[in-house]
Amino acid sequence: MEKRPVPFSATVLFTTVVVFFIAAFPSSANLSFNFYAASCPPAEFMVRNTVRSASSVDPTVPGKLLRLLFHDCFVEGCDASVLLQGNGTERDDPANTSLGGFSVIDSAKRVLEIFCPRTVSCADIVALAARDAVEMAGGPAIQIPTGRRDGMVSAASNVRPNIADTIFSVDDMKKLFSSKGLSLDDLVTLSAHCSAFNDRFQENSNGNLTLIDTSLNSTYAGELMKQCPARASPSVTVNNDPETSFMFDNQYYRNLLAHKGLFQSDSVLLDDNRTQKQVVDFANDQVGFFESWGQSFLKLTSIDVKTGDEGEIRESCSTTNE
């Protein structure tokens, strides 16, 4: 049976998100809704069409775009620094070698450069593409402000200190998220995505996996070991649904209640009294999760943005302008 997003009041969500954004991020005052209304009216439509087209060919694209946004915003802020290529850039760090979705961003940029040259930033394209990806995968439709500018610095050395590790405790994650202006509630809300789970298994001399984390449901662990050989590169997974298409719903939290979290950093959300109630609430209330997602996603896409005279508008997303 086809999954469809649970309907809820988009107007109420949008109003709540706008008020919340203005109150929580006064430093992002130069971002605005419909920023390109005069300079490039079809900008958001073009990004959306590019994401839709790519997703129809490759159903893993939405999940890749969402993960790409996380890795961009948590390092140097939401400035498309993760897209820059070259020796020693963020893309060289092992934590980013499995990222995908770059070709989708590049495709959208090429189209936009034809109709609106040097106008729409790569940083905005990354944020809009992730926003659209979530909606196309069954998640909530939300509006986000635009006006981000592209950063000119990308260093692999900045990645590891700013990306959550799969063995992080709640305290570790809280400290990291707090440094980005995100709350404990944001942490639980935005945790509904993941990428690998090698730390929960051990590879023997024959290349077979053995479960070493006893908190993981043994039957589910067996299914994962069959689907994801130890020597295979970790695949992008979202909502604990390995490999295949990305479906955005509250399944992640239902899986946590069933002890099917892929990461140790997932499981601790259920074990910790500070986050347990929110996990349970989201598992039982998809509408509530979607509403929280709208607020947390807005905060995520506003982390340390560059606006005004900061940064630049790249002609190509993989290189800075000369």
Q: Which of 64, 67, 71, 200 is catalytic?
A: 71
What token pair was written down for 260?
């099917």
Report the alpha-carbon distance of residue 207 to residue 209 in Å, rounded.
7
Report the alpha-carbon distance of residue 120 to residue 153 in Å, rounded.
19
Bridge partners of residue 210, in order along the sequence: 202
Nearest partner of 113 among 130, 33, 105, judged by Cα: 105
Report the alpha-carbon distance of residue 163 to residue 111 in Å, rounded.
31
Angle of the 122-136 helix axis to the 286-300 helix axis, nearest 10: 170
Report which DSSP code applies to 163.
S
What is the phi-psi region of residue 216: left when phi exceeds 0, alpha when psi lies from -120 to 50, beta otherwise?
A: beta
Report the alpha-carbon distance of residue 158 to residue 103 in Å, rounded.
23
Report the alpha-carbon distance of residue 198 to residue 229 in Å, rounded.
10
Enclosing H/E stretch for 212: none
Radius of gyration of the chain (CA): 19
What token pair was written down for 195?
């990428």
Bridge partners of residue 211, in order along the sequence: 201
Q: Could you tell me which residues come within 8 angstroms of residue 82 by beta carbon, excluding any fewer than 6 positions away?
A: 68, 71, 72, 75, 90, 91, 96, 99, 126, 154
Report the chain's terminal Cα–Cα distance, integer Å.
Answer: 52
Q: Is 71 a catalytic residue?
A: yes
Beta carbons of 301 and 127 less than 8 angstroms apart: yes
- Residues carrying an active site annotation: 71
